[in-house]
A = this chain, B = another copy of it.
């Protein structure tokens, strides 16, 4: 986000859009606006690419074990609650704990453990279930950064980090539902992820976006 956009206030849209946001990157300069004698077609395109997602084998559950996977999800959510996306998570401790348990059920089942998530919740539909919550590219980066730190917090076994990480790294792109840039989201494959995400580990709070 540009600095000027972060300073916008509700109801000031028409001014902000044109006058102050020239520093947004623009990839449209090849298209002349002025009309000619004929209709001109601008090509089809697509916005957000979802890369393939490597769902893990049951080796992840076998090596990590259920207690460590559940501890990972709890630490991750404790970290998220204190992060710049903390407003997306329940303040009420009962609700927070229930949410953590459901996510842990998901992670446990998807890595080869008991199928409690599906039994209790049905098909997972992760993207659809996240639609009520505004998740932009930067929120995904925060989510991944806190996951990386949580892996260390719980001593996640080195031999399954790549398989686990490359799953959540790719899957997390599908949770993005608010675009703030033309470029595709950043990729953080293992083993480069800790280096690429390091700047985010000490980042100051994100700039505020314009309200809807």
Query: Closest CB-CB distance, A159 to chain B, in whole Å?
Result: 14
- Is A202 located at the chain interface by the 8 A CB criterion? no
Query: How many copies of this chain sit in the oligomeric assembly?
Result: 2
* A interface, size bucket: 35 or more
- Is A51 located at the chain interface by the 8 A CB criterion? yes
Which residues from 88 to 113 on chain A have a C-beta closer than 8 Å to any C-beta of chain B?
Answer: 88-92, 95-96, 98-100, 102-103, 106, 109-112
Contact present for A14 and B98 (CB under 8 Å): yes
Contact present for A37 and B13 (CB under 8 Å): no
Q: From DSSP, what is the main secondary structure of chain A's interface residues? A: loop
Q: Quick one: which of B14, B37, B123 contacts A95, CB cutoff 8 A? A: B14
- Is A67 located at the chain interface by the 8 A CB criterion? no
Contact present for A112 and B42 (CB under 8 Å): no
Using Cβ atoms and an 8 Å threshold, which residues of chain B touch A44?
49-52
Query: Closest CB-CB distance, A69 to chain B, in whole Å?
Result: 12
New A-B pairs, 13, CB < 8 Å, besides A33-B115, A134-B178, A177-B179: A15-B95, A17-B129, A21-B128, A21-B129, A24-B125, A28-B123, A28-B128, A29-B123, A31-B124, A33-B106, A39-B56, A42-B54, A134-B210
Which residues from 1 to 60 on chain A have a C-beta closer than 8 Å to any C-beta of chain B?
Answer: 1, 5, 8, 10-19, 21-22, 24-29, 31, 33-58, 60
